[in-house]
Structure 1
Amino acid sequence: MGQPIPDFGKFLEGLRGSMSLREAARKSGLSHAYIRDLELERNRSTNDKITPSPDTLQKLSAAYGYPYTELMIKAGHLMSDDVAPVVTRSYPEVDLNQVYFIEIGMKEITYHTEADRLAWSIDSLLDFSTFLDTLDEHGFKKMDADLYVNLHHIRKYDERKGKLYFDEEGKGVSVTISAIRQRKYHDLINRHTANNTQRSLEFSFGKAGKKASFTTAEKNI
């Protein structure tokens, strides 16, 4: 742990610049009142001194387009010596078409393929934003707070457990998706699963509404 820079709150206010508190709140997911408290470095209700947590700093760095690691250092959560030397690129040149899913942590990205697992550090949010755009172009969808899944590799979908498998038997590697994402991408997952296993997707209608099911026959291609 280090020490925060003097007037860290004013530094945060400077990062916000001409952006309104409500706009900053919308972009970060934090309340506008809390953002103002951070800029004043005190809770205006209790007058207690406050320091933003690493999670809060991550949200602010995304909202303001400022490197997360630098914010951590300036807030006193990290020392410069704790940070690994910057490399020339923020993510490896991996063939994303071969990646099953990706886990994104606070400091690194972990790629999962059929046989390998590769972790790489995150260097800057500007590169990271470009990286997220690349994921979308390759068919990845965000399935949890830190999980991106390549729908082109899904072979089995267990709706009851909220699990996605990369083999048809459902005995191999799997990931669990959030309930919100399951509802959002339910039909899309079913369509990709049908396509990936070369099965047709049929819908039946009843009192419970529309329900997808797979036929055992392969699709005519």
Structure 2
Amino acid sequence: MQNELGRTIESLRKAKKLSLRAVSDITGLSFSYIRDLELGVNRSTKQPVNPTTETLQKLATAYDHPLENLLKLAGLVEVANAFEKILNDPDINDKKKEAVRILMAMDDSDESLDRVIGILNALK
């Protein structure tokens, strides 16, 4: 039986008319892993698949879908709530919210993160 996260990401992929291989090319994830996510189970081990925040970010970007929603569906409610709290806080200005959205949408590679950290440290 498929889980809600799996049904959602499969539906998003099909709505974009993307093949598993196309999503693999966009995200850098293997097409078999993406299919396992859609099914909610690792087909080799028969164990549930538990995607990382980084994986969900890649899929959210590929499908132009809110990361917070995928995080909630994956059971990562604390992370999703932290993002929502920042983005919905009226005391946080729009520029800071824009920065958070950019950080949430960016590639989680060490090189990208190191560049961002370097820039932020230079602005202190």
TM-score (norm 2): 0.67
Whole-angstrom distance in 1 between the partners of 2:19 and 2:47:
24
Q: Deviations over 1:68-93 (max 9, x none)?
A: 12211122101575431536898518
Answer 1 or 2: which has greater helix percent. Answer: 2
Whether the aligned pair in 2 keeps the contact of 1:16 and 1:64 (CA below 8 Å) is yes
Count of matched residue pairs: 107
Stretches of structure 1 lacking an aligned partner (at least 5 in a row): 1-5, 94-107, 110-119, 130-142, 150-163, 165-172, 174-221
Q: Deviations over 1:46-67 (max 9, x none)?
A: 1111121111101111111111
Whether the aligned pair in 2 keeps the contact of 1:52 and 1:75 (CA below 8 Å) is yes
Whether the aligned pair in 1 keeps the contact of 2:4 and 2:73 (CA below 8 Å) is no
Moved over 3 A (4+): 79-82, 87-91
Match of 2:95 among 92, 97, 106: 92
TM-score (norm 1): 0.40
- Cα distance 1:87–1:81, how it changes in 2: closer, same or farther (>3 A)? closer
Structure showing greater Rg: 1
Answer 1 or 2: which has greater strand percent. Answer: 1
Stretches of structure 2 lacking an aligned partner (at least 5 in a row): none
| Deviation for aligned residue 1:34 | 0.2
1:11 aligns with 2:11: no
- Percent identical: 31
The RMSD of aligned alpha carbons is 3.5
Q: Which moved more, 1:74-83 or 1:57-66?
A: 74-83
Whether the aligned pair in 2 keeps the contact of 1:91 and 1:122 (CA below 8 Å) is no
